[in-house]
Amino acid sequence: MVNKYMKIHILGICGTFMGGVALLAKDSGIEVTGSDKNVYPPMSTLLASQGVDVRQDFLTTNIDADTDEIVVGNFMRRGMPVIEDVLNENQSYTSGPQWLYEHILKDRWVLAVAGTHGKTTTASILAWILEYAGMSPGFLIGGVPENFGVSARLGDTPFFVVEADEYDTAFFDKRSKFVHYHPNTLVLNNLEYDHADIFPDLDAIKTQFHHLMRIVPSKGLVISNAEEKNLDDVLEKGCWTKVEKFSSEEKADSAWSIETINADGSEFCVLFEGEKQGVVKWDLLGKHNISNALAAIAAARHVGVPIKHAIDALAEFKGIKRRMQLRGEVNNIRVYDDFAHHPTAIKTTLAGLRANVDEKKIIAILEPRSNTMRMGIHQGVLAKSLAIADQVVLYQPDNVDWEMQGLLNELGNNASLYRDIDQLVADVVTTAVSGDQLLVMSNGGFGGIHDKLLQGLQTLS
């Protein structure tokens, strides 16, 4: 259990996961300091608003002498002076996932959401359903759900929702983060190749998911996407727990399915074991978000929330920062911010927006910022993922390992490539017209491009 007089220092505190750990520790009565650099909202502003002391850069002098334990983020590497000092001085250290389990999750009913895409959205929906049901869950989510305004909280009941990432744990623990969480309820959204910086191939990721399956108790529940063959491969490796499958296809042969009402995903009927349970009417768009909703409803049912109650909760779900978040509108030109960082996520996000806006022009603005995207692993399929957009604007940062001119050639006349954000913004705002939808896609700060676009549009209005 939590030591109320403990003091910890978090290395890499402004990452979405480690920032959540910081908030949980502080809420537990623990004194928290942390170090990071190159930070950006929403996590930087969130930590400041919660009174967490964030110190610039990874300096040994940032760690107070009376610190009881150092929590090491997975960005940290051997050779970094602060890490070498921690090891040479024999200071007590642990990983974020291990700290989370030992001090927060150990005695809780953990509902974990895993998968390549949709983890943040599904976990946020699930936490909100439980909150709506009066269950006051704890949660740690890799984003900021608008219904809560924070990415993590302790909660007042045994139930805890956690976004279960397959990325590695720390420089000294190369297992996936999620093996530390010991879930009773496990959602498997999907499984594709990603994180090329740590996984050599898809089979290596499947192995980590198999390790996760090995720690789900037989009295628990696994909720798996029926449309994902890669997840079936994982289940076939060994599963000792009841499985319920879900599908966003019409009346699919799975425990959970749907009947479409609106093609954009904003309204659909939920079916459980072939029986209609009620109609979801909400603000989210796209087939992928229907899947996220079904998974969350199934997980909530496992801890006692009636299906009808979960459906009612979705009507009041407000979304997540940086997940198709409308940042502003000027002269009927909308600017959206989306975290999409994988070809499948890009394609499904664009498809949802297209179904919602019909023939209005969609301008997709992409920064390939994730490790896998920067390495060029997905460059062969990016053009197809972006095909739904009417116009594609590409930004090539200095740290991208491949030349994006080839992608530009694939996309043709409706695409452009920039190496300067300010020039990109200037060109977009001068060509955008009323009704255009500007969809910015990046898993980073993208140089504050969203505000620059809105300011530019305002100046020209």
Question: What is the domain-level CATH number for residue 427?
Answer: 3.90.190.20
Of the three residues 97, 126, 160, the one that is the final residue of a domain is 97
Say if 319 falls within a structural domain. Answer: no
Q: Is 263 domain-assigned?
A: yes
341/379 Cα distance (integer angstroms): 12
**Are 392 and 334 members of one domain?**
yes
**Which among 387, 386, 378 has a CA at the least distance from the CA of 441?**
386
pLDDT of residue 93: 97
Q: What is the 3-state secondary structure (H, E, C) of the chain?
A: CCCCCCEEEEECCCCHHHHHHHHHHHHCCCEEEEEECCCCCCHHHHHHHCCCEEEECCCHHHCCCCCCEEEECCCCCCCCHHHHHHHHCCCCEEEHHHHHHHHHHCCCEEEEEECCCCHHHHHHHHHHHHHHCCCCCEEECCCCECCCCCCEECCCCCEEEEEECCCEEECCEEEEHHHHCCCCEEEECCCCCCCCCCCCCHHHHHHHHHHHHCCCCCCCEEEEECCCHHHHHHHHHCCCCEEEEEEEEECCCCCEEEEECCCCCCEEEEEECCEEEEEEECCCCCHHHHHHHHHHHHHHHHCCCCHHHHHHHHCCCCCECCCCEEEEEECCEEEEEECCCCHHHHHHHHHHHHHHHCCCCEEEEECCCCHHHHCCCCHHHHHHHCCCCCEEEEECCCCCCCCCHHHHHHHHHHEEEECCHHHHHHHHHHHCCCCCEEEEECCCCHHHHHHHHHHHHHHHC
Residues 365 and 418 occupy one common structural domain: yes
> Are 241 and 308 members of one domain?
yes
Classify residue 390: in a domain, yes or no: yes
pLDDT for position 352: 79
Q: What's the pLDDT score for residue 1?
A: 47
- Give yes or no for a cis peptide into 42 (omega within 30° of 0): yes
In this structure, is residue 51 part of a structural domain?
yes
Is 103 part of a structural domain of the chain? no
CATH of the domain at 138: 3.40.1190.10
Mark whether 136 and 251 lie in a shared domain. yes
Count of positions (residues) in the chain:
461
Same domain, 39 and 160: no
Q: Could you tell me if 172 and 256 lie in one domain?
A: yes
- Whether residue 121 is contained in a domain is answered as yes
* Residue where a domain terminates, one of 68, 97, 126: 97
Same-domain pairing of 47 and 138: no
Nearest to 246 by CA among 284, 297, 206: 297
The Cα 391–Cα 416 span in angstroms is 8
Closest CA to 99 of 190, 3, 193: 3
Q: Which amino acid is it at 236?
A: E
For residues 299 and 357, membership in a common domain is answered with: no
**Per-residue pLDDT of the chain in tens (461 residues, 90 and over written 9):** 455 558 999 999 998 899 999 999 999 999 999 999 876 666 677 788 888 889 999 999 999 999 999 999 999 999 999 999 999 999 999 999 999 999 999 999 999 999 988 899 999 999 999 999 999 999 999 888 989 988 899 999 999 999 999 989 999 999 999 999 999 999 999 998 776 678 889 999 999 999 999 999 999 999 999 999 999 999 999 999 999 999 998 877 899 999 999 988 899 999 999 999 999 999 888 888 999 999 999 999 999 999 999 999 999 998 777 777 889 999 899 999 987 667 877 887 888 788 888 889 999 998 887 656 666 555 667 888 888 899 999 888 877 766 777 778 888 788 888 889 999 999 999 999 999 999 998 877 787 899 999 999 988 76
Structure-block tokens of residue 345: 């996520």
Taking the C-alpha atoms of residue 142 and residue 121, their distance in angstroms, rounded to an integer, is 9
Looking at the structure, tell me whether residues 127 and 188 fall in a common domain.
yes
What are the two backbone dihedrals, phi and then psi, of residue 163, each rounded to the nearest 5 degrees? Answer: -75, 120
CATH number for the domain spanning 78: value is: 3.40.50.720
Nearest to 312 by CA among 281, 275, 274: 281
On whether both 155 and 289 belong to a single domain, the answer is yes
Q: Answer yes or no: do 185 and 222 share one domain.
A: yes
Q: What is the per-residue pLDDT for 42?
A: 65
**Which amino acid is residue 371, in one-letter code?**
N
Tokens standing for residue 119: 């983890």
Q: In one letter, which amino acid is 272?
A: F
Q: Is residue 444 part of a domain?
A: yes
Round to whole Å and give the CA distance between 437 and 361: 6
Domains held by the chain: number: 3
**Sheet holding 69-72: strands in order across?**
53-56, 31-36, 7-11, 69-72, 93-95
R_g of the chain, CA atoms, integer Å: 22
**Nearest-angstrom CA–CA distance, 69 and 456:** 47
Are 139 and 282 found together in one domain?
yes
d(CA 455, CA 368): 24
56, 71, 97 - which closes a domain: 97
Whether the predicted model's global pTM rises above the 0.85 cut: no
Range of the domain at 75: 7-97
Q: How far is CA 201 from the centre of its chain?
A: 21
Domain assignment present for residue 320? The answer is: no
